[in-house]
Structure 1
Amino acid sequence: MSRRIEIELTSARPDGSWTWRAAGAREPKGVLDGALLPSGAKTGDVYRADAEMELEGMTISSVADPKAKATKGGLLELIPSNKPFEEVTQQLAKRERGDRPRGDRGDRPGGDRQRRDRPAGDRPRGDR
């Protein structure tokens, strides 16, 4: 199964092959056939490659140019206006606190609820 990786060309060999490494790596990883590369390839170029994983290492099966970074298209241009700037403000309504003091909660309006026994399955069991 092939895997797509980014490779960087490290050096050209006299037989037309190139050494390569994973982009950002320090050491060369392998050798690839120069016929797979586009014309004008030079040391330091980064390409996207399909690599086959094998017992002996990786074999590069195809090479493509890296994805170009997207241009910043579709930006909106802000056009200044001749009108004077009008602020937008908001006034929040004060919350009414009622007649009671804050610390006194008092009784419930309908009184306390009747306590019911829990079903048998919900009762805590005694010491085991």
Structure 2
Amino acid sequence: MAEKNNIPQFVNSDSFMADKNYVKWLSDLKKRFHIAQLKAAVKVNTEMLKFYWSLGEDICEKQKQYKWGANFMKRLSLDLRAEFPKAEGFSVVNLYYIKRWFVFYSSHTNFFYQAGKKLQDVENSTSAN
């Protein structure tokens, strides 16, 4: 274990023999780590898609429900970027794309159901592993 002052610890080559079992185990660990990274990335992307879908839906509903004026998207963009300065995707143009994405695909319910069902199946199979 590394000391508190973070000085790297080296293994003396005389004190450790890497046999084929160790090499195989290390290779397996590397593969499992890469798989875990990929699963995490897929999960993050899935959650972000769900968020953008709900944001597009919210924008459509709020614009119908309230009369916030022509600068609504600009204001929303400024507020979201102020709150999440390191996040990308909240420019005015992107907010319009998010809205258009929702409007387009929500009108294609059969396609959305199939894609949503497939995503749900993938989520269920990965959570079982």
What range describes the TM-score normalised by the shorter chain of this pair? under 0.3
Larger radius of gyration: 1
Instruction: Give the TM-score normalised by structure 2.
Output: 0.18
Q: Calculate the TM-score normalised by the size of structure 1.
A: 0.18
Question: Of Structure 1 and Structure 2, which has the larger fraction of its residues in helix?
Answer: 2
